[in-house]
Amino acid sequence: MANAKLWGLKKSPWVFHVAAASCNNCDIEILDVITPRWDVERFGIVLVGSPRHADALLVTGVLNRKSLSRVLRVYEQTPKPCLVICIGTCTCDNHMFATSYNVVGPYDKYLPVDVYIPGCPPKPEAIISGVVKALKRL
């Protein structure tokens, strides 16, 4: 039973895109990953429109006081088990906004993050390799 659950989750991770106040570059790179050129549907990865259908949350952007409650709410709305994949250097160490009054810090203070993908923005290949690493760790 546990094996079947793991197999299903590994073979069809549906992703929901949480754009938590990013500068849009990471978002555009995520959209690139879904285009026919990289074709992640080979691995069963599909972009879904509702967090209720999601198995993985792709979070982008530096976490600030405004977006914190929204991100937590989206995480609570997602049925478990779910992965949290943080994309971009902003999510790892707040990048160039580290000294800002409004920034409340990297995501693992609040959420169980599975994998961080650095880069400003990360290349599509880097995003795919990060997702594969997160799936292998399961």
Partner 1 sequence: MSVIRILFSYLIFPGFLFTSVVGLFLTWIDRKVTARIHWRVGPPWYQPYADFLKLLLKETIIPEGVSKVLFLLAPVLGLVAMSILAVMLFSMNMDPGSTFVGDLIVMIYLLALPPLGIMLGGSVSKNPLASVGVSREMTQYFAYELPFLITMASIILKAGGSIRFGDIIIAQQASGPFLYSISGVIAAIVILLSTQAKLGFVPFDMPEAEQEIMAGPYIEYSGVAFAMYRVVRAMMLFLLPLFLISVLWGGFGNWWAIPKFLLIVVLIVLIKNTNPRIRIDQSLRFFWLGIGVLSIAGLILAVYGL
Residues 41-60 that bind partner 1 (CB under 8 A): 41-42, 44, 48-50, 52-53, 55
The Cα–Cα gap between 40 and 46 comes to 8
CA torsion sign for 70, 76, 78, 84 is: positive
Degrees (nearest 5) of the Cα angle 37, 43, 49? 80
Tokens 């530096």 map to which residue? Answer: 62
Six-digit token pair at 64?
Answer: 């600030």
Q: Check residue 112 for interaction with partner 1 (CB under 8 A).
A: no
The Cα–Cα gap between 107 and 10 comes to 23
> Between 37 and 137, whose beta carbon lies closer to partner 1?
37
Find the distance separating the first CA and the last CA of the chain, reported in whole Å. 15
**Stretch of 36-44, 101-109, 115-123, 124-132 lying at the interface with partner 1 (CB under 8 A):** 36-44
When binding is defined by CB under 8 A, the residue of 65, 70, 81, 138 that contacts partner 1 is 81
Q: How far is the CB of 94 from partner 1 (least distance, A)?
A: 30
Q: Check residue 136 for interaction with partner 1 (CB under 8 A).
A: no
Q: Check residue 114 for interaction with partner 1 (CB under 8 A).
A: no
- Write out the residues near partner 1 by the rule CB under 8 A: 1, 4-5, 7-9, 11-12, 36, 39, 41-42, 44, 48-50, 52-53, 55, 77, 79-81
